[in-house]
Amino acid sequence: MPGDGKVGAGSMGEGALSVRIVAKSFRDPGGGRREVLREVAFSGKSGEIVGLLAPSGSGKTTILRIVLGLDRDFEGEVRRPPGRLGVMFQEPRLLPWLTVGANLRLVASDHEREIAGLLAEVGLAGAETLHPRALSLGMARRVALVRALLGRPSLLVLDEPFASLDPQAASALAALLVQAARRDGALVLLSTHDLDQLLGFADRLLVLAGAPARLAADCPTGLAAPSPGVPVMGGFKEKLLHRFPFLSAAPAPQGAP
């Protein structure tokens, strides 16, 4: 029975996320329902970086939307850690009538110093007075990342955060995510096609496969204290690629669900 999904905060454990999606389907134009997810259950704890990997169109964005409480038409239950949510959608979603500064202050009005500091960290110092139309896509995505990081969220959800970023900006982003997790205790949940990037700093990988997509693997990367750029040891990547060949495929275009 679709549509009875429960999304709530807390009570499972301090800073914990618990996701149990029994089934998720979308309505077809013909009136039927197309199941996209089945038996997807995972959890995460404060300070952990969890990467979600799957072929294009397997429902990564759908899972993130369910976690954010934006899609409640599913069977199952989601428990989020209490506290602030930070989100970076696939597209920047900056309000075009507000300046960069006003966009950031809209979600964190009393964080002036943090705004200036984070903008500087992503290489956008002094961009506060610019309007989004004056930014490139990569710059706009960095502003969206700053917005997500503001206010030290307990849960940080990022959908394809490395898209449109050059390698340098991607490394800086990874460093910021590690900092948010290790220093501020945020639970970071992100989807990406970039296995290499993810292996450099994620604590755990969740791999979706099949149709409807199921959770095919939930494995720690084995990095006790991962940091961006550190090579993964022990043939972990090769094992993953052997079991899930689609992970070596070229990145899918943006906008895939």
Identify which range of 13-21, 75-83, 87-95, 158-166 contacts another protein by CB under 8 A.
Answer: 87-95
Shortest CB 6 distance to another protein, Å: 17
Identify which range of 9-17, 24-32, 85-93, 159-167 contacts another protein by CB under 8 A.
Answer: 85-93
- Complete DSSP assignment for 44-88: E-TT-EEEEE--TTSSHHHHHHHHHTS---SEEEEEEPSS-EEEE
Distance CA 150, CA 162 (A): 19
- Complete DSSP assignment for 166-183: -HHHHHHHHHHHHHHHHT
Q: DSSP character for 101?
A: H
Close Cβ partners of 147 (under 8 Å, ≥ 6 residues apart): 86, 88, 94, 103, 104, 107, 108
- Asked if residue 6 binds another protein (CB under 8 A), the reply is no
Shortest CB 89 distance to another protein, Å: 7
Distance CA 91, CA 37 (A): 23
Which H helix or E strand runs over 206? strand 204-209
- Asked if residue 106 binds another protein (CB under 8 A), the reply is yes
Shortest CB 41 distance to another protein, Å: 23
Q: Residue written as tokens 């009538």?
A: 97
Q: Which is nearer to another protein, 67 or 240 (CB)?
A: 67
- Asked if residue 152 binds another protein (CB under 8 A), the reply is no
Identify which range of 39-47, 96-104, 185-193, 232-240 contacts another protein by CB under 8 A.
Answer: 96-104
Q: Which is nearer to another protein, 60 or 204 (CB)?
A: 60
- Asked if residue 85 binds another protein (CB under 8 A), the reply is yes
Pick one of 4, 6, 13, 70: the residue that binds another protein (CB under 8 A).
70
Site track for another protein across 107-136, x = CB under 8 A: x-----------------------x-x---
